[in-house]
């Protein structure tokens, strides 16, 4: 892509996507499913090619990225199989397009239906996550949308190759070129041009760090489904079972510390500090996790680092966790989460039904959980096949963004000659 003609080239991508969106919106369910299965098969057949492209990305960026970001970038055969399986799972989902959401009749005889329709053209801007290329492609196709991808410079080779391979399947099924497009440049100005194309793009979905998300929110003329920080909490209530609490907390933090569903702050009732916390701290430190705690937590283990106000605001995306003592029960825990959390995912570990219900009803997050790991905050784990992201917005979509969240609706009104008095 010529830097001098960058704006012109991005506009052309937008035009092609808009034209293609009309075609893809009319595809039958069986056609979409066959295309997705073909793309899944092609990814497996070309996994060695994808891995070579990924090796280039790793070589160019391994000294620039922290361990968590590097983990999101790295592909292996197992992860490529998972990406392929994700496309197959999407093909098995119910088609979200053309569903009658509601229908009713008016006293004057008008019959009204609320029908699901595609959004149109989706722009996805993401960093370090080559798997997003395939997930977004599959979800967009199944929901009848055209897609423009702008991957991060870190995953440029991997993402480009994944899109190239998926597009071979699209070409075999005679889909227009504009159904799936990847902006082939690392130039950051490309993002700015994409954000202003409200004539061609219907929604922007950013996936990445706070600086990217804030730039998109501030500059976009297009509606944004935002995905802000994943400052996720796990609250250990005084009624919780010790072994369950330890196992869930360790998984919630350490399974993959660099994903947005990883627990960053542990809240624990003062009544169970001495019974529950020592084993949790021991396991975390043995796994090379830096544990920070308030003065009451340090009273249990004085080798830990003292947490401060900034820790409660921080998404570490690394092997670091902060622990805060709760003195006034579930209401204090909920207040802390609503003050410091990001509206992503928060969990309570408890055997007290009243405490659980209060937590689930009052924590203002897209996903609230009971007695399970926050790392289940994932579209695939929700049975959605895959996800484009976890929306922390309240408008249009919230929580995992899957095929159903990539649709809008229109009203069909049928009459028999009625005129309005």
Domains, in order of start, for the chain: 3-225+401-414 (3.40.605.10), 232-376 (3.40.309.10)
pLDDT value of position 162: 98
pLDDT value of position 3: 66
Question: Side by side, which strands form the sheet with 121-126?
Answer: 180-182, 146-150, 121-126, 203-207
Q: What is the C-alpha to C-alpha distance for residues 40 and 46, in angstroms, rounded to an integer?
A: 10
∠ Cα 161 401 129 (to 5°): 30
The b/e string for 256-275 (b: 16+ C-beta within 10 A; e otherwise) is ebbbbbbbbbbbbbeebbee
Rg (CA), the chain: 23
pLDDT value of position 1: 66
pLDDT value of position 43: 97
Contact indicator for 282, 249 with CB cutoff of 8 Å: no
CB-count exposure of residue 353 (10 Å: 0-12, 13-18, 19+): exposed
pLDDT value of position 48: 97
* pLDDT tens track, the chain, 421 positions: 666 789 999 999 999 999 999 999 999 999 999 999 999 999 999 999 999 999 999 999 988 887 778 888 999 999 999 999 999 999 999 999 999 999 999 999 999 999 999 999 999 999 888 999 999 999 999 999 999 999 999 999 999 999 999 999 999 999 999 999 999 999 999 999 999 999 999 999 998 878 888 899 999 999 999 877 899 999 999 999 999 999 999 999 999 998 889 999 999 999 999 999 999 999 999 999 999 999 999 999 999 999 999 999 999 989 999 999 999 999 999 999 999 999 999 999 999 999 999 999 999 999 999 999 999 998 778 887 778 888 888 888 888 898 999 999 999 999 999 999 9
303: left (phi over 0), alpha (psi -120 to 50) or beta: alpha
Task: Answer positive or negative: Cα dihedral of 159, 12, 121, 3.
Answer: positive
Angle between helices 47-61 and 156-172 (to 10 degrees): 160
CA 104 from chain center: how many Å?
35
Hey, what are 369's tokens? 């959980």
CB-count exposure of residue 291 (10 Å: 0-12, 13-18, 19+): buried
Residue 59, classed as helix, strand or coil, is helix
* pTM for this prediction: 0.87
């Amino acid at each position: 892509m010529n830097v001098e003609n960058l704006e012109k080239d991005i506009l052309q991508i937008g035009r092609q996507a808009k034209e293609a969106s009309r075609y893809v919106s009319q595809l039958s369910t069986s056609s979409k499913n066959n295309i997705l299965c073909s793309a899944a098969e092609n990814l497996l057949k070309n996994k060695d090619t994808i891995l070579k492209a990924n090796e280039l990305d790793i070589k160019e960026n391994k000294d620039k990225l922290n361990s968590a970001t590097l983990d999101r970038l790295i592909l292996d055969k197992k992860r490529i199989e998972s990406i392929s399986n994700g496309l197959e799972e999407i093909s098995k989902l119910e088609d979200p397009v053309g569903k009658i959401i509601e229908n009713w009749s008016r006293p004057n005889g008008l019959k009204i239906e609320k029908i699901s329709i595609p959004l149109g053209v989706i722009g996805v801007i993401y960093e370090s996550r080559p798997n997003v290329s395939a997930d977004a492609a599959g979800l967009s196709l199944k929901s009848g949308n055209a897609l423009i991808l702008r991957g991060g410079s870190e995953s440029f080779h991997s993402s480009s190759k994944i899109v190239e391979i998926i597009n071979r399947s699209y070409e075999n099924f005679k889909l227009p070129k504009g159904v799936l497009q990847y902006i082939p440049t690392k130039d950051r100005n490309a993002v700015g041009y994409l954000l202003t194309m409200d004539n061609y793009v219907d929604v922007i979905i950013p996936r990445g760090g706070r600086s990217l998300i804030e730039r998109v929110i501030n500059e976009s003329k297009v509606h944004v489904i935002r995905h802000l920080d994943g400052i996720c909490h796990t609250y250990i209530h005084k009624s919780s079972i010790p072994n369950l609490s330890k196992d869930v907390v360790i998984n919630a933090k350490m399974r993959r510390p660099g994903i947005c569903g990883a627990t960053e702050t542990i809240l624990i009732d003062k009544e169970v500090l001495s019974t529950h916390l020592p084993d949790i701290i021991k396991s975390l430190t043995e796994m090379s996790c830096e544990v920070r705690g308030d003065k009451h937590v340090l009273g249990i283990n004085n080798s830990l680092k003292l947490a401060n106000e900034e820790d409660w605001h921080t998404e570490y995306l690394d092997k670091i966790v902060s622990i805060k003592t709760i003195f006034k029960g579930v209401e204090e825990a909920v207040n802390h989460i609503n003050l410091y959390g990001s509206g992503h995912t928060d969990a309570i570990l408890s055997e007290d039904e009243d405490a659980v219900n209060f937590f689930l009803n009052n924590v203002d997050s897209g996903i609230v959980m009971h007695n399970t790991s926050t790392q289940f905050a994932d579209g695939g784990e929700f049975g959605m096949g895959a996800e484009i992201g976890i929306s922390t917005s309240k408008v249009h979509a919230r929580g995992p963004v899957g095929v159903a969240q990539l649709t809008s609706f229109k009203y069909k009104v049928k009459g028999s000659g009625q005129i309005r008095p």
